Structure 1
Amino acid sequence: MFDYGGMKTGAARAWDAVDASASSRADVLAELSGRIRSMQRSTLGAGSEAPVVPVASELGGLFPRGGLKPGGVYEVLSPLLATMLLSAATRRGDWVAVVGMPDFSAAAAMAAGVDFERLIVVPHPGDQGMRVSAALADVMSVVVLGDAATVSAGEAQRLEARLRRTGSVMLRLGEWPGAEDRLAISERRWSGLRAGHGHLAACRITATARGRSGIPRRVSFTLSEMSDPPGLIEHSDE
């Protein structure tokens, strides 16, 4: 188990060595591939047989089928939304992965209900972000790829084909041509302050999904009992 900020994840280690020397990158990727072969993908179905990936009830209205489309890629402009989209999948027993997000918030993940026993974190993939993500997509239900990773058109097409075959879902923190939807937080309203003093106790959030039709879908929900609001509600305006 990897101790991530005092919390245990399902990863044996954080795979930081991926951005070391070329030889160590190859070793780590080989180890990663071997370690994940025995995970749950064979029990969930693949490709067209894969079930819709469930999402938190607060976000279900953003998706026509009530969850993430197997084989789809989604642009997600909010780390908070990306984290929330992992929670229901892990509670179902799916494995999920976060790649190239060194500032991934363990506190936000815990607050969102992510099961750390079903989470693999690869905070520093170096220039191997796409390769690591592709390897993980073979067995993970959801893979989150940070915005620092560069993606060529050819790499995007190959990964999309791989996702369609496996039924996995990619959440890209940044742009991805041809994404199923563009997910963002369009509005935030804080409560708890009175006459200029007090504590921020809750935040009313409006999240938006805008797909190829251009017609946005919106949901609103409240996050409450937040001990560290600025760290949980990050930059994400549409």
Structure 2
Amino acid sequence: MKVSLPPILKSAPPPLTSNDKILTNLLSPFSFFFSLFFHSFFSLFHSFFSLFLSFFSLFLSFFSFFFFLFFLFLFFFFFFFSFFFFFFFPFFFFSLFFSFFFFFLFFFSLFSFFFSLFPLFLFLFFHFFSFFFSFFFLSLFLFLSFFLFFFFSFFSLFLFRSFFSFSFSFFFSLFLFRSFFLFFFFVLFFSFSFSFFFSLFLFRSFFLFLYIFVPFLSFSFEMSTQAM
């Protein structure tokens, strides 16, 4: 029976664009140190748990050694009294069995403790090293990210402020230049209009003077010629 896959599984994933590749290259060290940090953190947790179990085995060895001595004392005690009282003879085997049992338990726990101690400390050392190594580089990466973010934010704010101040000064100077130009144009226009109308007034006054004075002169000249 032929099983057909759905179309979404048959189609190949779209190729990465240049922006995706840049983002992947930027985030790859972060993801590496992030995964290393969590791996070393959980490994350290596992190592501490194993260390706890190792010390528990050490405690068990001391505990079993104490019981071994206790049952050994019982063994000698029942062994001695079994010669006199037959009633103590089963307790003799009972104490013998438990003394051997705790004796082997003591050696087994002590052996497991010493056998697991060296690789456990080695394991702890490497995971401590990887933990602090990843923590240092992860902190450094986050610090650089935040530093670059704030640096570019303040730098863009500084550029915006510089651009705003430049635009304000430019437009204010343009406004002053326009105002000065308008004032200069107004003064020039006023002076030109004043001089024009004043010269026109003088020209009119001169013509009026000629219009009045010339006939008077001609009349005076005629009267003087007639009198002669």
Both proteins in one fold, TM over 0.5: no
Q: What is the TM-score normalised by the length of structure 2?
A: 0.15
> TM-score normalised to the size of structure 1?
0.15
> Higher strand proportion, which one?
1
* Bigger helix share: 2
Larger Rg: 2
